[in-house]
Amino acid sequence: MKLTLDLVKNNSKIKDFIRQTEHYLNAIDYTDHGQRHINIAADRARSIARKIGLPAGEQELCAIAGYCHDSGNFLGRTQHHYWGALLFSQVFLNEAENPHDVSTIAQAIVSHDKDEIKIVSMVTAVLILADKSDVHRSRVKIKKGQIPTMSSMADIHDRVNYAVVDNDLTVEPKKKLITLKLKLDTKFSAPLEYFEIFTARMAFCRLAAEYLGYKFGLEINKFKLL
């Protein structure tokens, strides 16, 4: 069996892991890590892989890793990257035509959330960029009757995500530059708050971009910060 994103999306076990993850993270009032986020991560991973010139097979592996990277959250947020890799391996290791595809995706899932784990594949680097660049208003779960304001959002992650009204990740092969461009509504969060919670993520994106042979840039409200 050749692994494809469509095959993975239609797998009943993967579907259930994702449903359980959405249910668990809703229960702890966490930002979106469900269908919205994983589809964006999968699409963005495929797009990055295509634009930097990876072969079609690796593009598919990047998309699969993007779709499955958060599927282990329902077993525990802190170690979700390990749980996700183990679950993916259990589902596909004995069925996949090429076991190396399974191990490549599993390794990417393990490495996507911890910068102390060495990046050792293009798939891993692409997944990190696709995942960590997804900051946007639509990730915030607004409770019924809640009116979003800076003061009503006690959690800084909610404020910063809600403040981002536009998000674009550009890849420029000739310049060897990958840039995350954000439009931030400062009524909900100041740019400084973005760095309070996302400095480590942006540093991680820089490491991933460097592995691909690129530089990483960050723009907020058309102002270049990195």
Give the 3-state secondary structure of the chain.
CCCCHHHHHCCHHHHHHHHHHHHHHHHCCCCCCCHHHHHHHHHHHHHHHHHCCCCHHHHHHHHHHHHHCCCCHHHCCCCHHHHHHHHHHHHHCCCCCCHHHHHHHHHHHHHCCCCCCCCCCHHHHHHHHHHHCCCCHHHCCCCCCCCCCCCCCCCHHHHHHHHEEEEEEEEECCCCEEEEEEEECCCCCCHHHHHHHHHHHHHHHHHHHHHCCCEEEEEECCEECC
Give the model's pLDDT for residue 156: 81
Q: What CATH number has the domain bearing residue 87?
A: 1.10.3210
- State which residues form the domain around 61: 5-224
Query: Could you report the per-residue pLDDT of 170-204, keeping only the tens digit for each?
Result: 999 999 999 999 999 988 888 888 888 889 999 99
Give the pTM.
Answer: 0.94
- What is the structure's pLDDT at 151? 57
- Looking at the structure of the chain, the number of domains it has is 1
Q: Is the pLDDT of residue 154 over 80?
A: no
Band (pLDDT 50/70/90 cuts) for residue 57 is very high
